[in-house]
Structure 1
Amino acid sequence: MRALTIEDLNAAAHVGGVSSLVMRQELEPASGPDGVIAPAKYVDSNGNATYIIEKRYMEGEENPAKVVLIDSKTSFANRAEATTTEAMRNGEGILSKMPHIAVEYDVDDGKNVFYDNQLPHRGFDGHIRVSSYEGESTSKAEPYANARNSTLENLLPLFDLSPETVIFGGWDSTRSKNQLRIPSILVGETYAVLAEQNEDPAIHRAGGRVDPVGASINVDSKNDRVKIVGDSVDLSDKTKASFEKTGKGSTIGLGAIPPSAKKDLLDGVSVRKVISTRVVSFATVRTFHFGKGVEGDAAIRALIIAVLLRDIAGYDANPFIRANCFLSETGKPTVVLNKRYGEKEELEPLTVDLTEKLLETAYAQAHEKAGITWEGQEFLVQGNPAVLANSSAEDDAKEN
């Protein structure tokens, strides 16, 4: 078995090349096959937390198997992007030099800065669009307006300003016209085959909490309620109002909580095996054009592929998903090039060192053939203070 090479990336960047690169890793609960792990939580039509359970074909099995989603496609892309964010913070490697858009918010203890790849819609995100640049609306700024006017026939203005938006995909969905949609090149997910294939597989329970001051704290006096929360600047308005109305200490984190096994509580599932897959679609990236001719465009595509592989390898070096979902690899991953006419070639697993070298070579090539220059250029915009003033963490409690 050989390692992936820059020649592979260059061939994939030209029409007629291989269709995709597939990485597949089997895992198990870190505590052992009898361990319990926490899948991703979603909200159902009634506003209650639920797991995504579905049936899928499993090779070698006659009937579809019931599986649970551990990590979704969009979620995995965000986790992979965190490799770039970490590189920018540490100033390490080619990723740290990637141009980017940054939104800066003034806060009480200084400034908070968010990169485009940290925002939900990347370069098209609302935090950027309603911000200001050099005293005027960012949406009117020439570099940003030109980037938003990019098309799949020429993505260069956007790639110059916010490469991550091109690399990971984006949709300028709030625009009244010329809504650019960039399909994602990377699709990755993690799911698990459930141990329980017939009945409800979810474990319904929640741990208790001991309060050494008092097991039960209920405040009858309205004056005492006001005194307790009156100086608490960190409470949300909703939480504060709820406590002032009911006086229940549990509302603000006071008092003991008994263990519970109510059916609406979700603590995890038992699984037979966990499977993590990633697909990089070369066929998709070949639909991207940059106005640099056949070889120049191909060089930029190879650079895009190299960034994705470096981000994936970075995540795999520290594969954290969420609390109570600790997994360990059961063996080496398989890495397969899907070639034409059903041919496949298995390659060595991707590593940080290998993908960093590929990225260095791909960048040098794109610089020479297409004039791509990455020097850490930052398009810094000032966040709209009205957005920050009206933000709240209330909805975060409902999310995964």
Structure 2
Amino acid sequence: MKLDYPYLKKLVEEDAVAIRGTATLEPAGGPGDKIFPPTHAVDSKEPGAKYAFEKRRIDGQDVTCVLIDSVQSQANRMEEALEALWDEKKITLPVVSVDFSSVAPEVGRVTSLTAPHRIADALLRDSLLDGQLFRLSDIGKSFTDASTKNATALFKVCPTGLVFGLWDSTGPKGGLGAKFQRALVSEIIGITAAPGSKTASRIDPLNILKKAADIYEAQDDNERWTTNIEEAKKNEKGEPIKFGKKGKPSEVNHGNVTPSIDSAAGGVTIDEARHTVVLSLAALRRLGFATGANEARTVLAVLGLLAVFAAESRGHDLRSRCLLVPKQGCALKLEAVRRNGSTTPLDLNLQGAIALYNEAVDNLPEGIKFDKGPGEALTRLTPSPKLADLVKKSRELAAVEADVAEG
């Protein structure tokens, strides 16, 4: 069934509980190639980072699976893909941005699409709009009292918060701030996962030995290190300061690295990866609006679908040595799930989703229409002096710690 605006609106209003999709993926290197899932910190009793293995019930059997890309990570990827479409002026979407170029040029702009907590993030809260803290501005105040009973204000400034979920815990109400559940969930897992091992070593072509010389911090910061005591920095007692912990050549990245084996985070092999997407239309129907409720919910539904296809169009290059591709004939397919459990296949792709989204936005009634056009920011913020100072000091500390770590 081709998914057009009238049919989607009907599904959202009354006819369906969810729209779901699945895809079967495999390593880009082919079956049997090793991939590297994300690692997660464990408790202090077992130091180090490990993969998230768990048993899943598949075809009536308990199968060892591994998390390849979490719900949170998938949401971040989808929001980044939406931001790219917005930047390219292909869609109209309310976006609040903060320019950190003056204090963190490598970061540049942070928006309500890339901030960890979306519109409720502390980075936006502690930024200024026309010299006033954002949360004290009219726009900032507008969504403080938003709730599932009336989500109009949040819809007009950050509709993605209603799709991917939001908890306004950093606002004036603290922990009592409004909470909105995720309506869109996406996850990738590896099926029948077997852990592997990773080796590490480095052979120095010059064979610099660790006892060759003591390494000191150089008086000239540009030189960083020296073997000459006369050129070394001195402590309060007039003693030369060794570089790093022991002043060995390895602390300035010279010399051999002893071969080692990592069996906790050495990658995995899998039979296949499964990508599952669920858009809850039931969750969207629980959202109330001052006007145009069904039109607003339809925009949110197609915004979720657009996010899925926008992210998928970028491919599944999830991290180093974790590139997945669809198995032939097993790319993402969508279907509507009705109240009685029956399903209807849905025909939609990225270009169709862009057109469908723009049509849905055009059909919004007055009072809930978006205030800006394609690629236009709803409002642009600047970091407050205290936030800029915090960022600056953090970067200064990170530079010092990086020097120590390298040593």
Q: Who is 1:68 aligned against?
A: 66
Q: Who is 1:236 aligned against?
A: none
Which secondary structure does the structure 2 equivalent of 1:84 belong to? helix
Which secondary structure does the structure 1 equivalent of 2:77 belong to? helix
AA of the residue aligned to 2:283: T
Deviation at residue 138 of structure 1 after TM alignment: 2.1
Residue correspondence of structure 1 range 147-226 to structure 2 within 5 A: 147-175=143-171, 177=173, 178-195=176-193, 201-216=194-209, 220-221=213-214, 224-226=215-217
Name the structure with the higher helix share: 1
Deviations 1:30-75 (A, max 9, x none): 111111011121111124101111111112x4x2111000000111
For residue 99 of structure 1, the aligned residue among 90, 94, 98 is 94
CA distance, structure 2, for counterparts of residue 118 and residue 311 of structure 1: 13
Tell me, which stretches of 5 or more residues in structure 1 are unaligned? 196-200, 234-240
Distance change (3 Å), C-alpha of 1:271 and 1:380: same
Residue correspondence of structure 1 range 81-160 to structure 2 within 5 A: 81-89=79-87, 91-94=88-91, 97-105=92-100, 106-107=102-103, 112-160=108-156
> Percent identity between the aligned chains?
23
Question: RMSD of the TM alignment (CA)?
Answer: 2.7
For residue 329 of structure 1, the aligned residue among 314, 326, 330 is 326
AA of the residue aligned to 1:36: K
Indicate whether 1:231 and 2:222 are aligned: yes
CA distance, structure 2, for counterparts of residue 104 and residue 369 of structure 1: 29
AA of the residue aligned to 2:98: V
Deviations 1:85-109 (A, max 9, x none): 21233x2311xx3121111221376
1:242 touches 1:251 (CA, 8 Å); kept in 2? no
Instruction: Return the TM-score normalized by structure 1.
Output: 0.84
Residue correspondence of structure 1 range 289-368 to structure 2 within 5 A: 289-292=288-291, 296-319=292-315, 320-330=317-327, 331-332=329-330, 333-348=332-347, 350-367=348-365
Q: Who is 1:270 aligned against?
A: 269
Deviation at residue 5 of structure 1 after TM alignment: 2.1
Q: Who is 1:389 aligned against?
A: 392
CA distance, structure 2, for counterparts of residue 287 and residue 103 of structure 1: 31
Distance change (3 Å), C-alpha of 1:142 and 1:374: closer
1:299 touches 1:369 (CA, 8 Å); kept in 2? no
Q: Who is 1:52 aligned against?
A: 52
Matched residue pairs, number? 370
Which secondary structure does the structure 2 equivalent of 1:167 belong to? helix
Greater mean alpha carbon deviation, residues 309-318 or residues 170-179? 170-179
Greater mean alpha carbon deviation, residues 34-43 or residues 339-348? 339-348
2:200 touches 2:259 (CA, 8 Å); kept in 1? yes
Distance change (3 Å), C-alpha of 1:337 and 1:390: same
2:17 touches 2:338 (CA, 8 Å); kept in 1? yes
Deviation at residue 24 of structure 1 after TM alignment: 0.2
Q: Who is 1:31 aligned against?
A: 29
Distance change (3 Å), C-alpha of 1:269 and 1:151: same
